[in-house]
Amino acid sequence: MNFSVTILGSGAALPTKNRMPTAQYVNCNNRHFLIDCAEGTQLQLRKYKINFQKISHIFISHLHGDHYFGLVGLLSTMNLLGREKELFIHGPKELQDFIMPMLRFGGARLAFNLNFIALNTTDKIKIYEDPVLEVHSFPLKHKIPTCGFIIKEKKKALKINPKKIKEKNLKIEHFKALQNGKDIILENGEEISFKDVTLPPTDVLSYAYCSDTKKNLKVVEFIKEVTVLYHEATFLIKDQKRANSTFHSSTKDAALIASKANVKKLVVGHLSSRYKTNDAHTEELQNLFTNSQVAEDGLCIDLAKEQSRS
């Protein structure tokens, strides 16, 4: 099964030639999510050939414009292109009051159900669950109420050892019980222990998103051991004071959180437009957290690969 994150915008508030403001597309076992939706997100989705009609849930971290000004345009376009599939938007409670009057006044009668769900911005809360994964929101520390998100696969079933299928004459109808750790009796009376015919499950993968936020050690417990952490690093260490005063993070802050949470890989983004390249961020990160990377627009992170690398 696949679990990938595509960075649609890796910049901070001011869009530049190289970096659009924040949005990310997550495909987790063919569940399709969008995290944040800055101005131009619909164009980025097109650019990277993502079928945005498949998106079922949109998570908006907070109401600074560079994280949601593209939402109303994306919803309009989804509607114009004939969307019928229900859509869920999780965001600060005021979001609905901003978006709905604009859609209504424009005369767009949505042909799909649009559900706004207010985020709890003070506690860690499960906001989505299905048989294979869960999504939680948790509070970050920014100028206005802001949430991070964690998308985590559930414990996976055991794998049938392909070598044992012929040897034990297993049929497909036997698999489910064995994969769930139950012994079975074949029609010929033979007892089969699940331990003899299965292999360990593939690793549970997880992705955490922390943007925007100042350094916040409370976050560590929420994102412990995730496969990939995306954490903002708007500033370099030399601009740490500015990071603190604007409720943002430096590379050092991001690396500290990644280190304390023992994540496998750190990706930093939300780079201030004052930095013309990502060279300085990359250099600083190399000394702070080994398995790390600076995000770029279009970067596609394959979580299974990151897990197997570490």
Q: Which residues bind a copy of itself (CB under 8 A)?
A: 13-15, 17, 39-40, 42-43, 46, 63-66, 69-70, 72-73, 76-77, 80-81, 94, 97-98, 101-102, 105-108, 143-144
- Of 281, 289, 284, 283, whose CA–CA distance to 263 is shortest? 289
The least CB distance from residue 259 to a copy of itself, in Å, is 31
The least CB distance from residue 73 to a copy of itself, in Å, is 4
| 24 within 8 A of 209, measured Cβ to Cβ | yes
Residue with Cβ nearer a copy of itself (96 or 259):
96
The least CB distance from residue 218 to a copy of itself, in Å, is 22
Listed in order, strand segments (DSSP E) in the chain are 3-9, 23-28, 31-37, 57-59, 87-91, 114-118, 125-129, 133-139, 147-153, 159-160, 184-185, 191-192, 198-199, 206-210, 228-232, 265-269, 292-294, 300-302
Residue with Cβ nearer a copy of itself (68 or 207):
68
Start-end of H helices in the chain: 41-47, 71-80, 95-105, 162-167, 172-179, 194-197, 219-223, 240-245, 251-260, 279-288, 303-309
Pairing mode, strands 23-28 and 159-160: unpaired
Residue with Cβ nearer a copy of itself (51 or 188):
51
Residue with Cβ nearer a copy of itself (78 or 257):
78
| 270 within 8 A of 12, measured Cβ to Cβ | yes
CB neighbours of residue 42 within 10 Å: 20
Burial class from Cβ neighbours inside 10 Å (0-12, 13-18, 19+) for residue 304 reads middle
Distance CA 292, CA 184 (A): 45
- Of 127, 111, 108, whose CA–CA distance to 119 is shortest? 127
Residue with Cβ nearer a copy of itself (145 or 164):
145
The least CB distance from residue 181 to a copy of itself, in Å, is 50
Residues involved in catalysis: 66
Report, in angstroms and rounded to the nearest whole number, the Rg of the chain calculated over CA atoms: 22
Distance CA 192, CA 258 (A): 44
Residue with Cβ nearer a copy of itself (4 or 77):
77
Token representation of residue 225 = 């051991």
The least CB distance from residue 75 to a copy of itself, in Å, is 9
The least CB distance from residue 18 to a copy of itself, in Å, is 12
| 36 within 8 A of 140, measured Cβ to Cβ | no
